Chains A and B, each alone.
Chain A
Amino acid sequence: MALLKSSKIISTVRVHPPLGALSIRASSWWSEVQMGPPDPILGVSEAYKRDTNPKKMNLGVGAYRDDQGKPYVLSCVRKAEAQIAAKKLDKEYLAIGGLGDFTKACAKLALGDNNEVIKSGRNITVQTISGTGSLRIGANFLSRFHTEARDVYLPKPSWGNHTPIFRDAGMQLKAYTYYDPKTCGFDFQGALNDISKIPEKSIIMLHACAHNPTGVDPRPEQWKEIANLVKKRNLLVFFDMAYQGFASGDIDRDAWAVRYFIEQGHNIVLSQSFAKNMGLYGERVGGFTVVCKDAEEAKRVESQLKILIRPIYSNPPMNGARIAATILNTPDLYKEWLGEVHGMANRIITMRELLVANLKKEGSTQNWQHVIDQIGMFCFTGLKPEQVARLTKEFSVYMTKDGRISMAGVTSGNVGYLAQGIHAVTK
């Protein structure tokens, strides 16, 4: 159309651009591309950044902050970095499956040092781009090879990014009851009821510890019943463990559910992230594990995981994995790390207690026990969307619409202000 017009103009206009260029400039390939909505979680941080209120609080994304509200680079991480720098290593490509020293240690951390699975070589653990990358590889793997079922059952609610990841990989998403808004706790019976109806061979996603976004975890006896029921239903278990160490402060305690399921004979798939527990967020350190029938099957699965990884990013980044491996494999650094994780978890527990104490001081008559009962980085406050909106607008407290706050963003300096705000919108 533009071409026709310009040919008519040529005779009357003296100066004009070359015909070809005019028709190209007329349109764009991307005219029909819609503006994508901002990411619900990461979008919160962007909005926070734009706010000029000096009292603003970012309780959106789950990144740990110290009591000054500053990012915390673990001391064991700095030490590991210094050690690595001194070694003058090269920058040659890693294998597709990643750094061996890292993947071995990663599996040991999750499954326990003397786990029979590791001893018999029947797990395959590959290095991934943190937790997201791990979930994505897992989703791709299941989509391609778990042809018996397309359905992934997520707890209701689950991390916001679970759904788009699995959907993009071609899976269908369903949900099982998990959170009880009446108690702000675990709806155990509801979960069992729903799980008992899940069709055989479906995939069920379980948060290993420190459930995101609710902070509500099953107790060990409840995990046992879930494991039993899941076995009866013959479901494929996908554990997402993004907070090992961060929940209770104890590495082994936080991995208890994962290890129990394996003991009970579930051949699980597992995603691990070192973003939070080692503070390596931007270095993208994670692992994906498939527990197989035997070592031979593990080899076959490994070969297929490589085929999946190669066309996405070829091989994973070295820096973070090297740091994590150094920490996990060096006894004093490992010990120091356990102490620091414990420290981070403790600060969060303290903030929970302080928040509740301050709410009471403000005169709130609501029941805030769940703030203390919930575990890990996040707290499902129970605030409704309108209350969240007010908290953001009137107090510049940024959080996700579902009422989730990152306790890591709370400090002894701002917990009072937070309590004020929450009380104001809930009284």
Chain B
Amino acid sequence: IMSLFGEVPQATPVAVFKLSNDFKEDANPKKVNLGVGAYRTDEGQPWVLPVVKKVEKIIVADNSLNHEYLAILGLPEFRSSASKIALGEDSPAIQENRVGAVQCLGGTGALKMGAEFLRRWYNGNDNTKTPVYVSAPTWENHNAVFANAGFEDIRPYKYWDAEKRGLDLDGFLGDLESAPKHSIFVLHACAHNPTGTDPTHVEWMQVAEVMKRRKLFVFFDSAYQGFASGCLDKDAWAVRYFVTQGFEMFCAQSFSKNFGLYNERVGNLTIVARDSDNLKRVLSQMEKIVRVTWSNPPSQGARLVAITLNTPELFAEWWDNVKTMADRVLLMRASLQAKLQALETPGTWDHITQQIGMFSFTGLNPKQVEYMIKERSIYLMASGRINMCGLTTKNIDYVAESIHETVVNVQ
């Protein structure tokens, strides 16, 4: 019989996963994986947070818990405590009952739900032509999430200045000024992926002013709260500032990194609306979208996070675990920068310590990246992005030397 799928072409693999695969198959004992964004200990191992282990035991021992369906929008105690994490416990918007949330499958799922909702309901009933702006560069899945949700016009906004290795504020503000009214902007709440470069408070205020004036939609992607500076509140400054400015907005939260719950797919789409009536209607429509996508979200991860956030001692322990991770990253940044300076590697390397979060945009070009992979078995993204968590006290010398050798020999 002729196959119905005879014409289905082989798709190119998702880059970040192919990188991990290639790393796995590399036999070089000195190999280093600076690819996929997951935290690693100084032994180069995944780290299940001590507080998570504790709460898992609590869950397993609790015979009153079962595996029943969650509500369509998810576990209520998870949704509300997660939103509090983003907006602050004393957020006036929460007190005014105009904050709601949808428990989703990871940060990706939260972005997806927000995108689907916007396409149907944001500015009229058909937003397929409404422009969606994502930073240049951005997490490579942003584009696909919005395209898949039906948006036909996805554009870059200037963000990364390759020459000065920092934020292109003028370019960013310029794109905000020239974007069609009502355009949707995806903003990284902190620890920009992949550049690690965040606007300062003053710069955020400038962004907010333009967005308010030009009626642009604020869609925050918050995947690293706590992970950037080690302080949850500090990392949420931009999100909270925008709330004080009166925006109706979305914030897609991920608990993959800050809880180390990567594979349990724990995410939350926080919705800030004008008032509780608007919020209610928005949530009712979110339910419709959830129902045709996954019906209701997975319970394990949400339970874990909810118990942690709602139990003071556990919450404190979590905050501590988060700081442990952030501190190790900061240490690796400082070490790498110091070593490159000591080696007198050509170029400036201050951006390594100025950037924040899991990732660093090294500035290595594709040829140099290829050299690192092929000649030194050091795996990083073609963009020059490295995961700081892949660095350890044991491999940092090798990595620094390799960067040095690469920069000297390959242009």
Q: What is the interface of chain A, defined by CB distance below 8 A to chain B? A: 20-21, 24-25, 27-36, 39, 42, 61, 63, 71, 73, 77, 81-82, 85, 88, 90-96, 129-133, 136, 145-146, 148, 161, 164-165, 168, 201, 236, 265, 267, 275, 279-284, 290, 292-293, 297, 299-301, 303-304, 306-308, 310-320
Q: Is the CB of A91 within 8 A of B5?
A: no
Give the residue of A32, A265, A303, A320 whose beta carbon is less than 8 angstroms from that of B300: A320
B403 to chain A, nearest CB (A): 26
Main secondary structure of the interface of B (DSSP, over half): loop
B 266-319 contacts with A by CB, 8 A: 273-275, 278, 280-282, 284-285, 287-288, 291-301
Partner of A282, one of B45, B125, B246, B299: B299
Residue of B6, B109, B288, B294 touching A36 (CB-CB under 8 A):
B288
Q: Decide if A31 touches B265 in the complex (CB within 8 Å).
A: no
**Cross-chain contact A92 with B38 (CB below 8 angstroms):** yes
Residues of A within 8 A of B212 (CB): 20, 24
With A30-B248, A283-B299 as given contacts, are A132 and B274 in contact (CB-CB < 8 Å)?
no
Q: Does B394 contact A (CB under 8 A)?
A: no
The answer to whether B141 touches A281, judged by C-beta atoms less than 8 angstroms apart, is: no
Closest to A128 in B: B294
Among candidates B12, B260, B287, residue contacting A39 with C-beta atoms closer than 8 Å: B287
Q: A20-B212, A136-B292, A297-B6 are in contact. Are A307 and B11 (CB under 8 A)?
A: yes
Contact with A along B342-365 (1 / 0, CB 8 A): 000000000000000000000000
B291 A29 Cβ-Cβ under 8 A? no
B278 touches A30 (CB 8 A): yes
In the complex, residue of chain A having the shortest beta-carbon distance to the beta carbon of B217 = A29
Q: Provide the bound-state CA to CA distance between A293 and B284, in Å.
A: 43
A320 to B69, CA, bound (A): 12
Shortest B8–chain A CB gap in Å is 5
Interchain CB contact (< 8 A) of B293 among A39, A290, A312 = A312
Q: How far is the CB of A159 from chain B (nearest CB, A)?
A: 11
Contact of B68 among A63, A90, A132, A297 (CB under 8 A): A63
CB-CB contacts below 8 Å: B29-88 with A: 36, 38, 45-46, 48, 52, 56-57, 60, 66-72
* Residues in B lying within 8 Å of A, measured CB to CB: 1, 3-14, 17, 36, 38, 45-46, 48, 52, 56-57, 60, 66-72, 104-106, 108-109, 112, 121-125, 141, 144-145, 147-149, 212-213, 217, 245-248, 256, 260-265, 273-275, 278, 280-282, 284-285, 287-288, 291-301
- Given contacts A85-B60, A282-B70, 16 further A-B pairs with CB under 8 A are A24-B247, A31-B278, A32-B124, A33-B121, A36-B288, A93-B36, A132-B293, A132-B294, A145-B5, A279-B67, A283-B300, A299-B10, A308-B148, A311-B145, A312-B105, A318-B263
Identify the closest chain B residue to A203 (Cβ): B4
Q: Distance in Å from the Cβ of B269 to the closest Cβ of chain A?
A: 12
Q: Please determine whether B273 and A30 come into contact, CB atoms closer than 8 angstroms.
A: yes
Please indicate the chain B residues that have their CB under 8 angstroms from the CB of A317 in the complex: 105, 263-265, 298, 300-301
A281 CB contacts on chain B under 8 angstroms: 67-69
Q: Which of B14, B104, B123, B273 has the most CB of A within 10 A?
A: B14
Check B246 against A21 for contact (C-beta < 8 Å): yes
A36 proximity list for chain B (CB < 8 A): 281, 284-285, 287-288
